[in-house]
Amino acid sequence: MSEDVRRMSDELARDPGSRIFVPLGEALRQQGQLDMSLKVTLRGLERHPHLADAHDLLARISVDRGEMERAFDEWDMVLRLSPGHLGALKGMGFVCFNRARFADAERYLAAAATLDPRDDQVASALQHVRAAQRHATSPQAAIAESIANDSRYLFLDVLPDEAQTALLLDPAGLVLAGAYIDADGRDVAQDVGAELSGVTEAARRATRHLAMGDWTSIVFETEVAVVAMAPSSQDGLLVLATSRATPLGLVRRLLGRCAEKAQRWLGEQR
């Protein structure tokens, strides 16, 4: 436990009615302690049911837990309590984008950009939304052609659930296909790829050292998501992320479908 978390926890213990539960819950969320963060936030909301920042925190916790419907409801509550709340506007833009409600996403993000014109994340998210909206309002043939030519949408038909995403990486961790949109509406796929560079070779060395043969897939369960990985052709890496609520059997099936899609796509690029 960090010193800040310990200090805020002690303050909350001395005064259960303190609003310190909001920064405490946020600190716990950032440390990945989602269950504890949720518990602290819900307990605080019992005493402060009309505190907009607390509902905003609950929405962000819900996103981390893959509970997009709850996040939407909480951010909607924030905007009722505090119209023009920057965090809620950004959050609603993120949820609407993931639901393909591009006009609503643009409206929320445009309002956020008006409140803070210097926020580069909002500007980038707004650019993504407007590009997606142009696709959505184009004739069907143009939409299909645009999606087919944009590798970011490679797994769109395989992973229809908004809580699922996949990336195809080259050996250096560069993103070949797929996208990863975070809660602020940014595509952080390249950042994720950089962190995973070299995983394929490391896994190959480990399995050979243990005399297990070549590796075919691996699944991790974390506090916020289930992540599955598999090697792709040309020493690349396929990464699938889903919500914790996804059964492991389904995770493996989705990984297999993504692998087939990636293999076909790589063959077409030669």
* C-beta separation of 112 from 86 below 8 A: yes
In terms of average pLDDT, the best of 18-22, 131-135, 241-245 is 18-22
User: Looking at the predicted structure, is the pLDDT value of residue 249 above 90?
Assistant: no
How far, in Å, CA of 61 to CA of 66, rounded? 9
Cβ neighbours, 10 Å, residue 94: 27
Task: Output the pLDDT for position 71.
Answer: 92
Beta-bridged to residue 229, according to DSSP, are: 218, 239
Task: Output the pLDDT for position 143.
Answer: 44
Judged by DSSP in three states, 221 sits in strand
How far, in Å, CA of 109 to CA of 127, rounded? 10
Residues 183-208, mean pLDDT to the nearest whole number: 75
User: Looking at the predicted structure, is the pLDDT value of residue 147 above 60?
Assistant: no
Instruction: Cite the DSSP H helix spans in the chain.
Output: 3-14, 21-30, 34-47, 52-64, 68-81, 86-98, 102-115, 120-137, 140-149, 189-196, 199-209, 248-269
Task: Output the pLDDT for position 140.
Answer: 47
**Helix 120-137 to helix 86-98 angle, to the nearest 10 degrees?**
30
The residue that leads in pLDDT, 201 or 63, is: 63
Output the furthest CA–CA distance in the chain (Å, rounded). Answer: 66
Lowest-confidence pick of 57-71, 136-150, 187-201, 241-255: 136-150
Residue pLDDT, tens place only, 86-119: 999 999 998 888 888 888 999 999 999 999 888 8
User: Looking at the predicted structure, is the pLDDT value of residue 149 above 70?
Assistant: no
How far, in Å, CA of 25 to CA of 177, rounded? 35
Lowest-confidence pick of 5-19, 32-46, 60-74, 213-227: 213-227
The residue that leads in pLDDT, 56 or 242, is: 56
Domain range summary for the chain, segments of one domain joined by +: 3-135, 150-269
CATH dotted code for 3-135: 1.25.40.10
> Can you give the pTM of this predicted structure?
0.53
Question: Could you tell me the two tokens for 16?
Answer: 């259960």
How far, in Å, CA of 12 to CA of 44, rounded? 10
Task: Output the pLDDT for position 142.
Answer: 47
Task: Output the pLDDT for position 247.
Answer: 81
Smallest CA-to-CA distance from 126 within 79, 184, 78, 177 is with 184
Task: Output the pLDDT for position 16.
Answer: 92
Number of C-alpha atoms within 13 angstroms, CB side, residue 92? 27
- How are strands ordered across the β-sheet holding 175-178? 175-178, 165-169, 236-242, 226-232, 218-221
The CATH fold assigned to 150-269 is Beta-Lactamase (3.30.450)
The answer for residues whose C-beta is within 8 angstroms of residue 135's C-beta and 6 or more apart is 142, 143, 146, 147
The residue that leads in pLDDT, 232 or 147, is: 232
